[in-house]
Structure 1
Amino acid sequence: MAPKVLIVLTSVDTMPTTGKPTGWYLPEFAHPWYELHDKCELTIASPKGGKAPLDPASVEMFKGDEKAVEFHKTQSALWEKTKVLSDMKASDFDAIFYVGGHGPMFDLTTDRTSIDLIEAFAAAKKPISAVCHGPCVFLNTKAPTGEALIAGKTVTGFSNVEEDQAQLSAAMPFMLEDELNKISGGKFVKAADPWAEKTVVETTAGIGGVLITGQNPASAEGVGKALLKALGL
């Protein structure tokens, strides 16, 4: 039987700091989807359910990415009618994956339902994964021991340099690299060059199952492949 994976998208379509359109980032859903969809049973959810906003900037920026373009053209049903996140139970799934984009920084970082879900997956030793800004969802989570879930764990996510180069640092509620580095205890890592691929698979005892994080859009496929491997596929 195919493993069941819960994919979570943001519900935020506008940056409250600037009014700029935002949402989830196209290649960060497209590339993992191509890795997972024919081997896993996928359920797509968001905090509000219904249509999960796709960041229009990501469509424009990745118009030269064949997989992203094809995904955008053919798979819109996946994000037009998402399930409500609060209706989801960790016991119904084998793994969870968070798509990035700037949107999650404004809702999923502090979403209690999301935090509870991640903690339940971790306690059940099921793989938890996120890419780019997606790892913000781990900042407020606790391990079964009561300490921060990512304390002492090697993690990655969108770097300060990348945020600066995207010219969105001032619009963010916090710098993701700084917070991940602080809560992990200085265990944040990144690629040698901005925008290069970096995927981290952390299996240290105490986390529960496997923790998979990817730095940026270029890392999305790697996160998908690592999640398949964590599921034994």
Structure 2
Amino acid sequence: MAQNKTTPRDLRVDDPKSNEPDARTDATNRFNADAEAQAKLASTEKLSSVNPQDFNGIFYPGGHGPLWDLAEDPASISLIETFIGADRPVALVCHAPGVLRHVKGPNGKPIVEGKEVTGFTNTEEEAVGLTRIVPFLVEDELAAQGGRFTRADDWASYVVQDGSEPRFLQGNGTAASICLEQGPVRRRQSNALHSLEGCSGLGLKVSIQPAA
């Protein structure tokens, strides 16, 4: 989901179809009942056609799909690198941090190297029976790229913000999705770098690491 520079309601949605009944929440039910949001979903665009200059931030929702497509997609990789390089927030939740496996920072090194990261855990993948099905495990891959993987208990909501890259936000769990989706919007409205402000009360654990 890319967030347009005009108003908080002016969002463009770039998201595959994924709305199984057992995954629905109050938030997804509101989304399904939102005519404006549904119109945007019906007219999604290819990532390769997205102009980063048109947006303030980008949010990658979860689901297993990104491990097969977005993790290897040159347009997605370039988009993330452009947003990070332009000091614009990038937020990812659940399996979505896996799309960072090939993303490089301005120094040419993996974007997660030396940073606190999180996402769908190995034990959660084992619990859903897909350890041997997915192309890679998010936790293992982020660690292999030099990230410092931290987590909460299985299925608990958790978000991290590394002080060395405060525009770079990751999380796992339903409440983390709500927090991270709203983060770039709050930053646009307040011009604040601390994008996790306002997430208290969502029932999630927050880890904010100071810059070294």
Structure 1: 5+ residue runs without aligned partners? Answer: 8-36, 47-51
Structure 2 residue matching 1:231: 3-state secondary structure = helix
CA contact (8 A) 2:58 2:184 kept: no
- Give the alignment of 1:74-85 within 5 angstroms: 74=34, 75-85=37-47
> Shift of residue 80 of structure 1?
2.6
Cα distance, 1:232 vs structure 2: 4.8
| Counterpart for residue 115 of structure 1 | 77
Within a 5 Å distance, the mapping from 1:58-207 to structure 2 comes to 59-62=21-24, 65-74=25-34, 75-185=37-147, 187-191=148-152, 193-204=153-164, 207=165
Alpha-carbon deviation of 1:40? 5.0
CA shift in 2, pair 1:167/1:86, >3 Å:
same
Moved over 4 A (4+): none
* Residue 191 (structure 2) pairs with residue 231 (structure 1): no
Shift of 1:55: 4.4
* In structure 2, distance between residues paired with 1:217 and 1:170: 24
Does the CA-based 8 Å contact 2:59-2:180 persist in structure 1?
no
- For the residue of structure 1 that corresponds to 2:111, the secondary structure is coil
Amino acid in the other structure paired with 2:8:
K
Structure with the bigger RCO (C-alpha within 8 Å, sep 6+) is 1
Query: Match of 1:114, as an amino acid?
Result: S
- 2-side partners of 1:61 and 1:100: how far apart? 11
What amino acid is aligned across from residue 227 of structure 1 in structure 2?
Answer: P
TM-score (norm 2): 0.79
Offset, 1:115 = 0.4
Looking at structure 1, the residues matched to 115 and 130 of structure 2 have their Cα atoms a distance apart, in angstroms, of 27
Give the length in aligned residue pairs.
Answer: 186
Q: Identity, % of aligned pairs?
A: 32
Equivalence for 1:33: none
Per-residue CA deviation, residues 115-145 of structure 1 (Å, 9 max, x unaligned), is 0111111111111111101111111101111
Q: Is the contact between residue 212 and residue 227 of structure 1 (CA under 8 Å) also seen in structure 2?
A: no
